[in-house]
Amino acid sequence: MSEVIANVPDGQVMADLDGAVQWAGANGGDLQKPAISGFCWGGCITRLYAAPILKAPVLGLYGEKDGGMPLDTIGKMNIALGDGSAAAEGAEFVVYPDAPHAFYADYRPSYRKEAAQDGWRSMLAWFRQHGVA
C-alpha cells in the first residue's frame, strides 16, 4: 500500500478530495461546514487540503513518540494559530503519552487501543461540537 501512496501526486489527491466535497454537496452535505479528517499520511493530506482555506477550528491528535511529528512542531502550530482566527479559537491539540506514529492503525504493531479509541471518540465529539457531524 505504501508504494501506491508514495506514487500518487498531491495534486491528484487534492482533486480527489475536491470531488468528494462536490459529491457531498450534491447529496445533502452542508458545503458551508465541510470537515476533513485523516490519520498518518491522511493527516498530512488533511493539513495540505485545509491550508489554503483554513478558517475553521483544528483538532490534532498526536502520539508523544511520533518521530515524524516532533512535539516542538505541535507547539509551533499553536503559535502559528495564535492570530485570533476561527482556526486559532477552535484549535485543540491532544498528545497521547507513549503513543508512536500510527497509533490508530490496528493492523500495525504501533497500534495503541486506548489512544485510538479515545482519539476516535474525541474526533466525533469535536465534529459535533463544531456542527459538522
Residue positions annotated with a catalytic role: 40, 66, 101
Concatenate the DSSP letters of all residues of 9-67 into one string: -HHHHHHHHHHHHHHHHHTT--TTS------THHHHHHHHHHGGG--S--EEEEETT-T
